[in-house]
Amino acid sequence: MISISKKEQYISHPLIKENTVLRRAYQESIFINCLNTNCLVVIPTGLGKTIIGLMLAVQRLTEKPNSKVIFLAPTKPLVNQHYKSFLGLTVIPSQSLKAITGTTSPEKRKELWDDLKVAFMTPQVLQNDIISNLYSINSVSLIIFDECHRAVGDYAYCFIAKKYMESSNNPQILGLTASPGSTEGKINEIKNNLFIGHLEIRTDLDSDVKPYIYKVDNEWIKVKLPSEFLEIKKVITEKLRTIYKWLKQKELLNTSDISKVTRKNLLALDKVINGRISTSRTDDEKFQLFTAKKYTANAIRLSHMDELIETQGLSALDGYMKKNIEKIKQNTANKSLKELLRDPDIKRVIDLIEANKIKGVIHPKLEKLAEILHNQIIGNNDSRILVFCHFRDSVNNIVKFLKKDPSITAHKFIGQQNKASDKGLTQKEQINLLDDFKEGIYNTLISTSVGEEGLDIAECDLVIFYDVVPSAVRSIQRRGRTGRKKEGKVIILMAKGTRDEGYYWAEKAKEHTMKQSLKKIKETDSNSKVVGQSSLLNFVKKEKDGRDKAKLKKQNEIKLIQKIEGAEEFTIICDNRETASAVVRTLSLMGVDLKLKQLSVADYVVSERVGIERKSAQDFNDSIKDGRLFNELNDLKNNFIRPILILEGDPLINSNINQNALYGAITSIILNLGISIYKTKDSTETATFLFQLAKKEQSSAKGELKLRFEKKPIEISRLLEYIVAGVPGVNSLRARNLLRELKSLQDIFNAEIGDLLKVESIGKKIAQEIYKLSRFKYRSDS
């Protein structure tokens, strides 16, 4: 039992190390009010969210000694941070505390689970384990959702909360965040998704919090764009203005004023146009809408180009243009992009970029940043500085530029994803890099959004916004990286007269709205104060009716989950790469028994004879272009009696493939491959269809669902067809004709051109190709 007397300075509990956790009144109050209810805690950064989670965790483990606690965080560095806190502050045996991420194999996770008391995990790992029924979460008495402002949309937190409330014997949820959202609606969305019954809100103005708030100075530094940038910007904005005028004439935009049309407006317009295309009745109407769609796509590109030259500089814009030029070379560009880059004005932009690169023109923010960093480090050699930048390309450019100054030891801090030649950082590399930063091996980190959330770097005394983000959540998170254990400073760099300034004021307005929303919720929340509990000494005496109300609330909320009675009787085998889609999560919520496997063929298997490939509209288009589609579907056909292709969405919308070519591919799949195509509008409809397939197939079938194709030996004849079809110009049909006529690989490759020409569908060109390849001498250096 946690106890604190008026004379004690530290929290006392059998599971907490003596003299380690300092007593703070606001933590005590929050802890009391979060007992036995699902609670959302909104608290300024640097005020010990982890400690609140720790206090509630040890309390739940004391109340329910046979239970477990899960502490979730969105990134491995943050998971590792919470894990180290529990190791240092509690007496829970180290073997009962484990940080579990994707690098831990499923077999090892299952093995570790039985002996765990507190598991520190990323949500993606827990989600996959729940879906595949790797272990039961019935005995989990508390899940802590750190950075719970992420619990919106399809993020894994939402799925986990639903499954947990449905299956746990004694569920309790604690959500922790410094920035829940800029509107009351967004805050309520988080509450609903996490089944929250009570809010605990603290601001830096609250009397119990004020003593622990460190001063953070904010400074805004404005720079002026050079004339060379303004020349490029003028060309881009004129192109944008022309498009906006056309869209306004067609009554698709209300204004052609560049300052009033945002990228959000353009993205919304694109959706509107897609809807109109699907319902258009005449060819002329459809032509006009496709033209509008093309202009809208290019307006989005031009708007992005304008942002890059304003806020990032030549290198970022140059990189963006080169990526698009490469798309054209690789024949992966759509018609609108090709038209844009053929435009004389855009060619002029490219020429201006090259000319200014030769002149050595750089963004003035870059020079100002280098100056600030130099002065800061010379003034305080122990300083640690975090620089935030929205674009990854700019992060690389900044690090490269700062190498000129030996006093600045900078390193990039980015996510895991590899982008072309730019390799990401593994989560292990991120953790090691943060340790190096704390120890002073690096005094500056140039970070994308991956460094914004939760990281507790006490040594960080300066945060710099290289660019401004119009998000209250992200700005609060960025600022929260300093002023945690001592006074700090935030510097925001802005280019005069650009969207930097617009984004700044937009963010300020959202942050103001957030504070007003929180104030309103705090004032109206009848449960925000728990009467009659002035200390932690009597928390165990909370009345039983509180528990009954929580239980009743849980039962009412569970009704919202769309679970299908009897669904657990049906099994669907899913390719484990499909967990990135909402389909698998929806199937799990329906109650279907899911088995995650690395499938070599198909995305879903519902019986030995039925295999399903799922393609989103975008993936369908991409797989046609890169040649994957028919290879995958041939494998599907060869391994299942009833192969099915689910086409999710409309491939004709947002396609850069000719409409006739798309119809040609679809008709070939049906007529030549004999594969059934079923079209769904979204992931929910896909999941429903998969469930109905499994139900139909397995209602009459007996025995365990097995993957026949995984154990089935390769037929030699199929293998021969595959080898022959590897010759340029030879498809599966021609390969079968050659083998039927000439019987073996030896006879095919030893045949003269005249013999090859006797084979049906083999012309002179293909015969010559086979003859030439069969006699070509291999050279290892060719």
> Which pLDDT score is estimated for 279?
79
**pTM of the predicted protein model:** 0.76
Decide if 622 contacts 331 (C-beta within 8 A): no
- CA 716 vs CA 144, 602, 676, 713, 726: distances in Å: 55, 22, 27, 9, 16
What is the rounded CA–CA span in Å between residue 366 and residue 362? 7
What does the pLDDT read at residue 18? 85
pLDDT at 421 over 90: no
| DSSP one-letter code for 518 | H
- Separation CA 16–CA 453 (nearest Å): 26
Largest CA distance in the chain: 103
Confidence check: pLDDT of 534 > 80: no
Residue 485 confidence (pLDDT) above 90: no
The pLDDT value recorded for residue 702 is 60
DSSP state of 260: T
Tens digit of each residue's pLDDT (9 = 90 or more) over 194-203: 999 899 998 8
pLDDT at position 706, please? Answer: 60
Quote the CA–CA distance of 277 and 287 in Å, as a whole number. Answer: 9
Residue 711, pLDDT > 80, answer no
* Full DSSP string of 634-682: HHHHHH-SEEEEEEES-TTTT--S-HHHHHHHHHHHHHTS--EEEEESS
pLDDT at 70: 98
Is the distance from CB of 385 to CB of 415 less than 8 angstroms?
Answer: no
Read off the pLDDT of residues 131-179 as tens digits, 9 standing for 90 and up.
Answer: 988 999 999 999 999 999 999 988 999 999 999 998 999 999 999 998 8
Least confident of 132-146, 197-211, 355-369, 609-623: 197-211
Split at pLDDT 50, 70, 90, the class of 8 is very low
Q: What does the pLDDT read at residue 705?
A: 66
